[in-house]
Amino acid sequence: MKLPEVLSPAGDTEKLRLAVLYGADAVYLGGGPFTMRQAARGFSEEELPRAAAFCHENGVRVYLTCNTLPRGEEADRIEDFLRAAADAKVDALIVTDLGVLAAARELVPQIPLHVSTQAGVVNWRSARALWELGAKRVILARELSLEEIRVIREKTPPELELEAFVHGAMCMAFSGRCLISDYLADRDPNRGRCAQPCRWKYRLVEEKRPGEYYPIVEDEDGSWFFNAKDLCMIEHLDELYRAGITSFKIEGRQKSAYYAAVVTNAYRAARDRLGEEMSAPPAWAVEEVLRVSHRPYSTGFYFGRPQRGQDDRCGDPVREWEVAAVAEEWRDGWLWVSQRNRFRAGDELELLSPGEAPRAFLVEALRDKNGAPIEIAPHPTMRVGMPCSVPVRCGALLRRRRGRE
């Protein structure tokens, strides 16, 4: 059976390039008014063809999100969006609304259709019905167990692809269908503008004591009673593979380029092990997912309903590592990088190259762009050089623990 693809988020051009460099088989991205991640910069109508061409040059597929629930006049504008997608030569459209699906079949029948997780596919009958309506793939609801996925696989056409999330933030609402943000912040989650009020901290006020706020639990930091843990299935990809999953999807178009690189690199290494006798992921790949910003990890609903649901108090995400620099060029024993966070000669960093385990890297010396010796790289994006005896690929990352000077 063909190995599942690694599908990575691409919220902007930098994230796209790093996802491709670090091993994505496909990327999903958005642009315009019909994406569920309006806060991500996305790609304009002019940028999208260039992004798709870059991916295709590197053997990577491009899936364009068109997964909001458009209202009124928004539905009238979908035709231009679909034609622009066809002109850009994207490899698939991710849709939720049945009207959008029908419009895509009529206007751009050459583009395969993937039905979004927002459609809430939880059984084989809906998956088969969507196949009959023209879907090539369904992105399964995150509330499904592995056993339920196996049943869907057994009772649907083998040509129908099944995609499932393997990593990233989990929504506390069913398949992302939530109205809390619309009610509290006038930002409709189903049209890509979620304010994430489930991540806010809440306290209780008694109506006769205005201005006096009490924790909902005995905790001085308040309570996060909606909060979902993050999903992490890197140690269980073999079980998803055997259940019939076609595509391993990583959440995170609004997250950093560093996140896109590190998580893609880890899951690509873990996925590649599925083709070997030893299917357990490399130990370094399991460690890598701890080195990006994250809340406590869980396996979601894959092994049955979590004992305490998805509303455990999680607090703020852990952020222990940051990018110090991005490699631009290696020549004559010197590595030239673009600075991202301050570092100095003598610092111990980590070098993360595509497809490899991270390794220690000592900054023995520094030069500015003109070759003059310097002690510190203090300015964002400044070009600096440092001794390096082995070649390093353009796009490799140098990182450090946060808070070190």
How far is it, in rounded angstroms, from Cα 6 to Cα 1? 15
Q: Do residues 382 and 368 make contact, with C-beta atoms less than 8 angstroms apart?
A: yes
Place of tokens 């079949």: 105
| More confident call, 206 vs 376 | 376
Cα separation, 175 vs 67, in Å, equals 12
pLDDT in tens, 183-230: 667 776 665 667 777 767 767 777 777 887 765 554 555 445 556 789
Please state, for a pLDDT cut of 90, what percent of the chain lies above it: 68
pLDDT band per the 50, 70, 90 thresholds, residue 315: low
For the cut 70, the answer to whether the pLDDT of residue 310 exceeds it is no
Average of pLDDT values for 332-352? 96
The pLDDT of 297-316, averaged and rounded, is 70
Q: Which domains does the chain have, with CATH numbers?
A: 5-173+228-298 (3.20.20.70), 321-401 (2.40.30.10)
DSSP single-letter state for residue 202 = B
Summarize pLDDT for 41-73 with one digit per residue, the tens. Answer: 679 889 999 999 999 999 999 999 998 888 888
pLDDT class of 337 with cuts at 50, 70, 90: very high
- In DSSP notation, 285-334 reads HHHHGGGSSBPPEE-TTTTSS-TTTT-----SPB--EEEEEEEEEEETTE
Taking alpha carbons only, the member of 14, 10, 9, 11 closest to residue 340 is 14
Decide: residue 128, CB within 10 A, 0-12 exposed, 13-18 middle, 19+ buried. middle
Residue 173: pLDDT above 80?
A: no
Quote the pLDDT of residue 190.
60
pLDDT of residue 311: 45
Return the higher-pLDDT residue of 198 and 298: 298
- For residue 309, name the pLDDT band (cuts at 50, 70, 90): very low
DSSP symbols for 270-287 = HHHGGGSS--SPPHHHHH
Give the confidence band of 342 by pLDDT, cuts at 50, 70, 90.
very high
Helices (H), 133-201: 146-154, 180-185
CA–CA gap between residue 144 and residue 170 (Å, rounded): 13
Cβ–Cβ under 8 Å, residues 192 and 278? no
The yes-or-no verdict on residue 39 having pLDDT over 80 is no
Range from 136-150, 155-169, 274-288 carrying the lowest mean pLDDT: 274-288
Question: Which of 300, 168, 163 lies closest to 245, judged by CA?
Answer: 163
* CB 287 within 8 Å of CB 73: no
Q: Are 117 and 139 in contact (CB under 8 A)?
A: yes
Surface-to-core class of residue 271, CB atoms within 10 Å of its CB (0-12 exposed, 13-18 middle, 19+ buried)? buried
Question: Structure tokens of 136?
Answer: 């090539």
Name the region of 136 (left: φ>0; alpha: ψ -120 to 50; beta: rest): alpha
Sequence length of the chain is 405
Model pTM above 0.75: yes
List, for residues 62-116, the tens digit of each pLDDT value.
Answer: 999 998 888 888 888 899 999 999 999 999 999 999 999 999 999 999 999 999 9
The region of weakest confidence among 8-22, 215-229, 314-328 is 215-229
**Average pLDDT score over the chain:** 88
